[in-house]
Structure formats: C-alpha cells, structure tokens
Amino acid sequence: MNKQIQLYDLGNKDYKATWEYQEELFKGIVDLKIQNRKDETTLPTPNYFLFVEHPHVYTLGKSGDLSNLLLSGKQLEAKGATFYKINRGGDITYHGPGQIVGYPILDLENFFTDIHQYLRLLEEAIILTLAEYGLVCGRSEGETGVWLGVGTPFARKICAMGVRASRWVTMHGFALNVNVDLGYFDNIIPCGIRGKAVTSLNVELGVERVDEEEVKVKILHHFSQLFECSIIRPLDF
C-alpha cells in the first residue's frame, strides 16, 4: 500500500480547469488499477491532494436540485460568477476567494475501503483544525460537513463536503470558509438545507482576516495523522 500523498497547491484557479485536472489524475489512478488487475501486477497507485481557491462559482451535485440556485444566467454574469453541474455527491454550494478548497484524489485501497470512514475522517481533520482556533465544531446528523452550534437555533455550516468515488478512487472534497464574503451564499439554498446559516472562520473569530497558509498547514497536519500518511511536495511542480 502506498501511503504517500503528493501535494499540489494550485493557487487561484478556474473551476472547470481544476475539475479537468482532477479528472486527469483520477483517470490515471483508475487506469493503473485496471491494468494491474489485467496483468496481475501490483504497481503502486499514486495519491494526490490539491489545494485551490476558485473565482466565484456555484456547483451542483449530481443529485442536487437546480431550484436551489436562486439566480438566473444574467444575474450570475452580473455577479461575475459561473455555474457547473458536476459529478460529485451533495447539492449546491459556492466556491470563491477566501475559501480553502481541498481535493484529495486517493486510492482508498491504500488506506481502507470505507467511503463513510473517509468522509468522517475528512470532517475530523477540519474539526481538529478549527479546534486550534478555539472553535467547538461538530457534525449534524444526516448532513455531511462541519458545523458550529449543532442542536441549537444558531446552527451554521463552516465547511461543505462532496465527493465522488469509483473503484475506491476519490475526487472532489471539502470547502472551508476562512475569509469568505458570505453574501454569495444568499444566492443559493446552501447544500439544499433550509433554515440554517453559513459562516466563515474570520467571522467566528471576529477578525478581518485569518492567515490561510497557516490554516492549510494545520489541515495537512491533522489529515496526515488521521490517514497515517506522509505528504510530499513534488520538486518538479
């Protein structure tokens, strides 16, 4: 089993271009697994972790309801935002500046073959990261992601999650609001959930801006411990 993960920080990158890059990496792993079985070989499959920040974009999961997007095409254009219907689970969400998006593209057969465990560990990495900032976060039953104020009238989501998995290979991932303009969430029913708010780390801490690079370091620390893996930055990137 290969428990080494290659880390790529893509900076600010267009959603569609990043999605295509994910698909390329995803296909490479799947094709190698198919070839291994065909040739009865055991060539190690790679794992990747992408960090990225997207320009304003709304994405709708494969089982999502388009009515949860509250903007017309012209209104999207006026806001400088784009929209894509994509092949992850979950409903609608927003990506934009000030948000840390993480896309682990892993062969889970290198770790464990349990998609529910995978999602819970992704959530736990964010929960532990936010605990370092003094925030008590948790899970909301039946609602994937990371929340504050669970079980109160003030429940609010700070991290959305949606993944795709095939042949135990994952793509898509999580979106953690760090310094986000929350007004963009007013244009959707986030994750298709009515009556619950969305928040951002800087809002919860009452500060103008949080160091996003520092947050990334903390996420990777907890992710590597939970997945018992090593994370490397390829020299040729």
Q: Which residues are annotated as a binding site for substrate?
A: 88-95, 160-162, 173-175
Amino acid at site 200? S
Cβ-based neighbours of 132, under 8 Å, separated by 6 or more? 218
Joined together, the tokens standing for residue 73 give: 């095409």
Comparing CA positions, the residue from 226, 117, 105 lying closest to residue 164 is 105
Task: Indicate if 159 belongs to the active site.
Answer: no
Q: What's the rounded Cα separation, in Å, for the pair 29 and 179?
A: 33
Compute CA distances 178 → 3, 33, 102, 162, whole Å.
Answer: 28, 36, 13, 18
Q: Cite the annotated binding site by residue number.
A: 88-95, 160-162, 173-175
Q: What's the rounded Cα separation, in Å, for the pair 151 and 141?
A: 10
Cβ-based neighbours of 8, under 8 Å, separated by 6 or more? 48, 49, 50, 51, 233, 234, 237
Catalytic positions:
191
